[in-house]
Amino acid sequence: MFGLFKKKQVDLAGLPLEEIKFTSEDLFVLMGGFDIGSVAVNGRRFPWREVERGDEVARWRRQVVNRYAPAGFVDAEGRPQGRLAEVLRPFAKPGLGIVGSTRGSLSRFNVEMAIWGDEASFLSVEAGNGLFTVASAGAPDQWAASFARAFGLEGRFRLAERAWHCDFLMGPADKGLNTLLLGKDAAGIRDLAATKGFDARPLLDIVAGIEAAKSVDALKLTTIDLRGVELDRIETPSGTFANNVPAASSAIDMRVKRMSVLPEYGWVATETTAPRTGLPANWRERGEEYRLASRFFSGDLIADTDLFDFVTDVRDCPAELGGVPSGQPCRPIEEDGR
């Protein structure tokens, strides 16, 4: 009698890779560590303490083998094979990682795109169950369209009528551009423009549009640029795993670009973390004060380029704001006394 209610075993071999569901533990085993954007494997949702217990990781590996080996997705050791290996490869490599949320500006990131060389893939969190799906982004000439679909921007992002750009530094008391725009704070925009030396008129036009609209939602995107960076490795009793942060010797080359996008206006407000003159060469290891000092801000109306190209273009801090070109130290470590 009870056999009538036995859960049906799903034949994974008969499913497209894009429909197969993975847990965080599955992906930790399959990727050999963290994903570049920390959407699947991160300290918030992942039982990191259990990684230090070899028996738990061994159990996760057995589960991966039991579930995915019969369909040929992994070998007897739990290593991904074939197309699964190809799709997962960019997530554990020092390339570009783009993360964002398709569920509103206040939601946690639920989509990740990883780019390494001429390979790119997506990882998505399923609503409700916290499981993950993975998919290829296709050939490089398909990446822009795949990006727009994956991040909910297809047919939604509109190019501005005229391009506009500004770069500036901000103090702790300064309000961000999108805070002012979404708050319809025309006076605050004029004040910031006067202080930072940019033309306020294009932003005041956006304020007028927002006032006339019923609702406006900002899309949050972050690009992590680890190209050319040597990644750290995590040594635990369970083994050695790939980390998604730079080793100390190459931390200076890392760039992070945090964007707030108003798709209907072709507008992007950006905060970029990059080396600036006067910071010690090991500034990333020196705490919040140095992280805040490494930021510069920009605003863009995008009229003559694709949003994907903009998102993947992680700039150095401009020289006029004290920026340091990629690969060059802010000043030698020995001068910093450490």
pLDDT, residue 121, reads 97
Confidence bin at 290 (pLDDT 50/70/90): low
- What three-state secondary structure class fits 183? coil
Query: What is the distance between the alpha carbons of residues 25 and 27, in angstroms, rounded to a whole number?
Result: 5
Alpha helix positions (H), 125-233? 143-150, 177-182, 186-196, 201-212
**Burial zone of 131 (CB within 10 Å; 0-12 exposed, 13-18 middle, 19+ buried):** middle
Contact 230, 254 (CB under 8 A): no
- Checking if the pLDDT of 40 tops 80, the result is yes
| pLDDT tens digits, 217-259 | 889 999 999 888 888 888 877 778 888 877 766 656 678 999 9
Give 205's contacts (C-beta < 8 A, 6+ positions apart).
none
Confidence bin at 294 (pLDDT 50/70/90): confident
Mean of pLDDT over the chain: 84
pLDDT, residue 107, reads 53
Most confident of 89-93, 126-130, 226-230: 89-93
Query: What is the distance between the alpha carbons of residues 56 and 49, in angstroms, rounded to a whole number?
Result: 10
Average pLDDT score over residue span 77-81: 95
Confidence bin at 6 (pLDDT 50/70/90): very low
Is pLDDT larger for residue 28 or for residue 293? 28
Query: What is the distance between the alpha carbons of residues 338 and 331, in angstroms, rounded to a whole number?
Result: 12
Query: What is the distance between the alpha carbons of residues 47 and 10, in angstroms, rounded to a whole number?
Result: 27
Q: Which residues pair with 276 in a beta bridge?
A: 323
Strand pairing class (231-236; 111-116): unpaired
- What three-state secondary structure class fits 130? coil
- Checking if the pLDDT of 106 tops 80, the result is no
For residue 299, what is the DSSP state? Answer: E
| pLDDT tens digits, 248-277 | 666 566 789 999 999 999 999 999 987 666
Query: What is the distance between the alpha carbons of residues 118 and 110, in angstroms, rounded to a whole number?
Result: 23
